[in-house]
Structure 1
Amino acid sequence: MSGVYDGEAIWSAVDTYFIDRLVTEDEALVHARESSIRTVMPQADVSPSQGAFLGVIARIAGARRVLEFGTLAGYSTIWLARAIGPAGRVVTFEVDERTAAVARDNFIRAGVADRIELVVGPAVDSVRALVDAPVDPFDLVFIDADKPNNPAYLEAALALSRPGTVIIGDNVVRNGAVADPGSSDPRVHGTWALIELLGQDDRIDATALQTVGLKGWDGFAIGVVKRPD
């Protein structure tokens, strides 16, 4: 193929190339992705390649217990629930009841409702209840909710982890805004706080990667909770 695509066009073309060859979406996943239009944040779910990536990471980690901040239509939740198998458990937080109803229907359609606990309400309150309970540690945590609360979510994730737990934070690039020191966007400030904490906390080793594709220019942070020396 000759020539050069312009900007996002080539990102989308490459993403589509990979998705067509590497990602298998059944009817339930397609329906969940498309039903995002009926949620409080339409089309904010991860892309098919990102969903598959989460599933692969869950399998690499041998995850059986997953914690997710931000359910939306449940697209990423389904990928994670399928990756952990029928004996696994996903706890996922969603603030909006109408959106939660969309996700519940999608879980049933995908055949994974029995391995998912959807908790409705502010995630800061929901996760505090888990920390106070306490509950068994999680093997993988996916942080993809309201960005200003990222620091609180990371601290709770660490409290609910064990050595070897994988923690992933989504949307850490925001079209490059993370590198703008003059940004007044509270979502960017929440991302800064997340990155700073990941870099400073001795309990976790982490890095961050930029991504381009159907979701534009963004990225994720990924870390693993350290094992004792």
Structure 2
Amino acid sequence: MNVSVAMATYNGEKYLSQQVDSILSQLDSEDELIISDDHSSDQTLSIIDKYMQADHRVKLFINEESGVTSNFENAIKHTKNDLIFLSDQDDIWKPEKVATVKSYYEKNPEIQMIMSDITVVDNEINTTIESFYEFRGSRSGVIKNIIKNSYIGCAMSFRKELKAKILPIPRNVPMHDMWIGLVADMNKSALLIPEKLIYYRRHDANVTSVENTSSMKEKILWRIQISSLLFKTFLKNR
């Protein structure tokens, strides 16, 4: 099974190289790193260009829209391989990440989406949360994750067959990762594995947050919206 990594970037010059290096060291020659950039104004594009010049597996596509969801969608759309791994721009993949996840897919042919546990760290890679699973009470299940989402994109991967079910990602869902996890759950094909395979770096410039800071009104509204969208998607994919 060949691998495509779908990475979204935006003004990520500070930590980008460390993350890209941790990914490329695990990829085979037929794998690829697809990067979608959301109109960065720092040195992000220059850094990506240097990798592209040195490694044919690195490919860049500029996001035609703006925002996290559309940026990840753009990266996912351009992937071509069997397994798609999502990636933030500022984390670090542990050396065994790709091999571990691939082994789970080989043993579980019915599974379409796999998410691992992660270790949350600060700028200097000091552990701040040992287990994201324990912190968020993570487990699969549609109702559970509508009530309290525990899906996190940086730890997710999925088979290419799931692309047709998740794309296009609705713009009125809270985040792309929640949508992907719930669609996989609707198809009873989501698996959460216990291994901690990423150092998930939290810093002042992060676009997303470990905590949900939405108001109660916002939470109720998006729960209604996403329930309706999931039902429509379920009917379409029957």
Same fold (TM over 0.5): no
User: Higher relative contact order at CA 8 Å, sep ≥6: structure 1 or structure 2?
Assistant: 2
- The structure with the largest helix share of the pair is 1
